[in-house]
Chain A
């Protein structure tokens, strides 16, 4: 239950600020290249900044004048936030326990969270997907998937 109006004002202010910061940020002098090179780069960046400034100001004005409405991010906030949490945990965990283990935990956990009933079936599906990705990427395409690093500390 968030007020759309205030979020839009905040976003609008952010973009106006971004435009201000961007303007002039590429004005440099560099002896390695010609003046036309550096000048044109700053012209390009400054043009982006100006257009952004104008568009963001219009947007900001419009959102200030708008009537307040409620914005809904998800019909099911619990599942929505759970998925965000699981994704972050999965990626974070993968750096420590490697692709295989992390995926074997992430898949059934996400399926459970999304309301999949049978635990056995979900484990089988998870193992299948993990095996498929492993075979295709690591064996077939020789892409080295993240390896476990957690136990290395004890080793060397």
Chain B
């Protein structure tokens, strides 16, 4: 059941939430934050969508990607662990230094991939919970 005010709020809040998500995801590498918290935040954005547009619409848009999303996230996380075996051991972090010309250089490693994987798993799992719960709340047969 779409709500007018919420739809207005949704246009402002969803981008803010998603930017915050990105910030938390990248910050989490050395500071509090990370894939799990960012994932919850992104799921909150989905919940806002569900509240403003209704569960049916959101399910039609993203429902089919949730299961594969969990799988892809898990794959990324496990692959980051397995990649360590190429170096010395399971879950040993590998680091790549990518030169960016005038911008300096970017040091990126397998922990980032792990974090992205966790992010994907959390977003998809929590969103599918939320869709299920909202379906019950709205009286729609899940």
The answer to whether A binds B is no
- Give chain B's interface residues, CB within 8 Å of chain A: none
